[in-house]
Amino acid sequence: MSAAYQKALIYCRVSDVKQTTDGSGLQSQEYRCRQYAAERHYVVEQIFQDDVSGGGDFAKRPGMSALVHYIETQKHTNYVIIFDDLKRFARDTLFHLQLRKVISECNAQVECLNYTFDDSPEGRFMETIFAAQGELERKQIGRQTLQKTKARLEAGYHAFIAPVGYRYEKSKTQGKILTKDEPAASIITEMMLGFASGRFQTKQEAKCFLESVAEFPKAASGKIGNSQVDKILSNPLYAGYIEYKPWGVSLRKGQHEGLVDYEMFCMIQDRLAGRSHAPARKDLNQDFPLRGAVACECGNALTAAWSKSRSGKLHPYYVCQNRKCDYKGKSIRRDVLEDEFEDLLNKLAPSKPLIVTADKMFRKLWEHRATSQATSKAHLESQIGKLDKDIEQLLDRIVEAQSPTVMKAFEQRIEKLEKEKLLLAEKISQTGQSVRPFDEMYRTAMTFLKNPKKIWHLGGLAEKRAVLKLAFTDRLVWDRKGAYRTPQLSLPFKLLGDFFMHEIKMVPRGGIEPPTRGFSIPCSTPELPGLTGKLVP
């Protein structure tokens, strides 16, 4: 084929997507290659582009793989493949030679703007030298990048893509640093605190909470990946700490602000490592907030559903589905069950004198905390000193140890002690902070204790489930006579007074048994003639 009708393919590559969005690397390469083709009267048939490095392996580049497939399916056409620089071809000696072989077998030839290919022995030798030089530069750049990134991690700076809830901001003295990205940051904080406190018993419940908040970033489907919640809960970054085990960067205080404190993060890890809980039921919805929280007399949790009458109307019911239960399939109207529950919440609210007493107790606690910070700080500092001595002793024993197994055990013990030191250091930093005002610290707790029914009425499904978990320690049991059996109350309500307090009465002086009829006996004391000896019941 003459040069005037020679068909050509152009290949352009940059090593990072950012160079595509923030720069013009691909456009400038394409422009130069088109100029080159026009000068030689080549007809450009297709353009292939890559915005990934591939680590030297051309098979990991989608654009190059597409180009190879294209010429393999059209071997009858002797294409000329044009690219800007030899380094765009393959920055690895082995893959460079493999790619040259694949292109040659497809009856295509390569032309470069900055390098002239020569198939002579000397030309092949020089081509190999240039390919090896490109590989050397790639590995040197990779090593420098790793060293700089690791050094930044060791200094307490996150050096990778900002996770959800954070974004990067440029600082004049610290470079790019993580800052909170609202409202996602506050939503994650609520989710993590809810998981630590037991508001969300499982990761599935935490996932449902994130999906229910419209402001939280999600996929196009409106869903969140199953692993995303686990990554958030187990990532120390959200507690203000940095750790990257693949590069040997141990846990350390970060230069960014955490969404929760480290003590709360440790509580979450304990929950994740602890016993498993039943997964959140997908059929819990606003229509039946008591589903799964109320049990039948047989002990089986009541389920719920809408029932359609002959007139076509839908009616809500709770029902027991236990096959061994005498009440299987016998439904309970939703309004009956839920109205009785609201009455139960009304009776649960402590009396005003007890609320006043609780308020005074909380104020005493607040005052005590404000005066005991200095003592707590001194105690925590002494604990850190003890840990430092323990770590120093273990380091001495590592030097003396000869068994790799023993040395590894000592290293694991030191790592555990270092984490304890971090926790104590955070407690010391918090101890030095001023105590928040009383109303700010206890407002939510007092509101809930005064009127749990109000929270139940005003809140959504998550708040209703929280009321159930915070007020009762076990499922409520529904008696078919039309009332709840005595529930198992949570500790706050136990301390603030007896259940159904306003219905409690003192035992009468005469006792609870029927009185015995009186009878008389003669008085054995003649000195007291006025007494008849009559016994009074």
| pLDDT tens digits along 74-106 | 888 889 989 888 777 777 788 888 888 888 888
In this prediction, residue 522 carries a pLDDT of 53
pLDDT at 289 over 80: yes
301 and 292 Cβ atoms separated by less than 8 Å: yes
User: Sheet harboring 476-479: ordered strands across?
Assistant: 294-295, 476-479, 483-484
State the CATH class of domain 3-149: alpha beta
Burial group, residue 531, by CB count within 10 angstroms (0-12, 13-18, 19+) = exposed
Could you write out the DSSP letters of every residue in 337-362?
HHHHHHHHHHHHSPPHHHHHHHHHHH
Nearest to 269 by CA among 203, 341, 317: 203
Return d(Cα 336, Cα 340) in angstroms, integer. Answer: 6
What mean pLDDT is predicted for residues 120-130?
A: 83
pLDDT at 530 over 50: no
- Beta-strand pair 303-308/314-319: antiparallel
In this prediction, residue 238 carries a pLDDT of 92
State the CATH class of domain 166-273: alpha beta
Helix (H) or strand (E) holding 381: helix 373-400
Chain-centre distance of CA 249, in angstroms? 22
What burial letters (b/e) apply to 500-515, b meaning 16+ CB within 10 Å? eeeeeeeeeeeeeeee
CA-CA distances (angstroms) from residue 496 to 83, 343, 351, 501, 518?
80, 18, 9, 10, 44
Nearest to 83 by CA among 108, 61, 112: 112
pLDDT at 499 over 50: no
What mean pLDDT is predicted for residues 498-517?
A: 51
172 and 186 Cβ atoms separated by less than 8 Å: no
317 and 333 Cβ atoms separated by less than 8 Å: yes
pLDDT at 505 over 50: no
Return d(Cα 33, Cα 492) in angstroms, integer. Answer: 76
pLDDT at 1 over 70: no
pLDDT at 466 over 60: yes
230 phi/psi in degrees, rounded to 5: -65, -40
What mean pLDDT is predicted for residues 301-316?
A: 84
The model's confidence at residue 438, banded by pLDDT at 50, 70 and 90, is low
In this prediction, residue 55 carries a pLDDT of 57
Domains of the chain, residue spans: 3-149, 166-273, 353-443
| pLDDT tens digits along 228-287 | 888 899 999 999 999 888 888 888 888 898 898 888 888 888 888 874 444 555 555 678
List alpha helices for 24-108, DSSP H.
25-39, 62-72, 93-105
Residue 207 contacts by C-beta under 8 Å, 6 or more apart in sequence? Answer: 224, 226, 228, 229
Could you write out the DSSP letters of every residue in 246-306?
GGTEEEEE-SS--SS-HHHHHHHHHHHHS---PPPPTT--TT-TTTTTEE-TTSPBPEEEE
389 and 436 Cβ atoms separated by less than 8 Å: no
Bigger pLDDT: 271 or 521? 271
Nearest to 465 by CA among 288, 212, 233: 288
272 and 206 Cβ atoms separated by less than 8 Å: no
Nearest to 89 by CA among 35, 11, 19: 11
Query: Sign of the CA dihedral 80, 85, 86, 89?
Result: negative
CA-CA distances (angstroms) from residue 395 to 154, 333, 398, 425?
21, 68, 5, 21
In this prediction, residue 515 carries a pLDDT of 57
What mean pLDDT is predicted for residues 505-521?
A: 53
Tokens of 509: 């002086």
Bigger pLDDT: 429 or 434? 429
348 and 499 Cβ atoms separated by less than 8 Å: yes
In this prediction, residue 371 carries a pLDDT of 67
Bigger pLDDT: 508 or 99? 99
Chain-centre distance of CA 498, in angstroms? 38
361 phi/psi in degrees, rounded to 5: -65, -45
In this prediction, residue 76 carries a pLDDT of 85
CB count in 10 Å sphere of residue 442: 18
In this prediction, residue 504 carries a pLDDT of 43
What mean pLDDT is predicted for residues 434-463?
A: 69
| pLDDT tens digits along 191-215 | 888 888 777 878 888 888 888 888 8
In this prediction, residue 166 carries a pLDDT of 92
How large a percentage of the chain has pLDDT more than 70? Answer: 80
According to DSSP, residue 472 is labeled B
What burial letters (b/e) apply to 307-320, b meaning 16+ CB within 10 Å? eeeeeeeeebbbbb
Share the mean pLDDT of the chain: 78
| pLDDT tens digits along 135-190 | 788 788 888 888 888 888 888 899 888 999 999 998 888 888 899 998 889 899 98
Q: Find the range with the poorest average confidence among 2-16, 106-120, 121-135, 495-509.
A: 495-509
In this prediction, residue 435 carries a pLDDT of 54
What mean pLDDT is predicted for residues 39-46?
A: 90
